[in-house]
Amino acid sequence: MNEREAREAVVRTAVALADQGYLAGVGGNLALRIDAERFAVTPSASDYYAMTADDICVLRLDNLEQLAGGGKPSVESGLHARALQARPDCMASVHTHQPVASAFTLLDRPLPMHGAEARRLIGAEVPMCAYAPSGTSWLASNVGKRVRADLNAYLMRNHGAVCLGATLEDACTVVRLLEQEAIAWFRRALAAQPDNRLYRQTLEFLEEDLR
């Protein structure tokens, strides 16, 4: 994949994820490996629907030096770089604030995968990475040290998720499956504890969003 193709693919994917509700406002970001030395990443605090390929930043994977792009790179560029370095088999890294999986991060516990497709494409259980402020090397380290070859999704305490894939399409599938599994977990939990306020409010939010 050449640089222009990568930057255009990042724009298309960001818009598609925003359309599906996995990216909202200027929250969330994504990165795509161009080659062994470079990756493309969304600019910081940018409207997904107004972005163009020229706005997408191109950085060195080893030191985050900006090589191209009209904007300031995402504050989570270091997070994406750590994930891509740890997983040379993955081309894409997507960080979302997707609603239900993000709500699950308040619980500070791993999320088991029950569906066959989720277990095959994500892994048996998505870990909860320790909290650190957004955009910090601390957060990048907390996630990076948990990255494994057999696991394609990671939750960040009180924050959101990072989803990996061999392609951007694969990473987006992981985003979708992770949200489905989080929804299913809350439904099971509410059935077991019908008076739990967090479980009920999370599902009420989901149902309202789907109307």
Encode 88-148 in three state secondary structure: CCCCEEEEECCHHHHHHHHHCCCEECCCHHHHHHCCCEECEECCCCCCCHHHHHHHHCCCC
Residue 81 has pLDDT above 80, yes or no: yes
pLDDT tens per residue across span 141-167: 999 999 999 999 999 999 999 999 999
Ranges of H-type helices in the chain? 3-19, 77-86, 99-104, 116-121, 137-144, 168-192, 197-210
Mean pLDDT calculated for residue range 74-86: 97
DSSP code of residue 163: E
pLDDT tens per residue across span 177-194: 999 999 999 999 988 888
Q: Provide the pLDDT for residue 197.
A: 84
Measured from the Cβ of residue 105, the count of other Cβ atoms closer than 10 Å reads 21
Confidence of residue 122 (pLDDT cuts 50, 70, 90): very high
Q: What is the CATH number of the domain that holds 104?
A: 3.40.225.10
pTM of the model: 0.94
- Tokens matching residue 110: 């791993």
Which range of residues forms the domain containing residue 177?
3-210
Q: How many domains does the chain have?
A: 1
pLDDT tens per residue across span 20-65: 999 877 789 999 999 999 999 999 988 899 999 999 999 999 999 9
Distance CA 142, CA 206 (A): 29
Q: Provide the pLDDT for residue 207.
A: 67
Q: Could you give the percent of the chain with pLDDT greater than 70?
A: 97
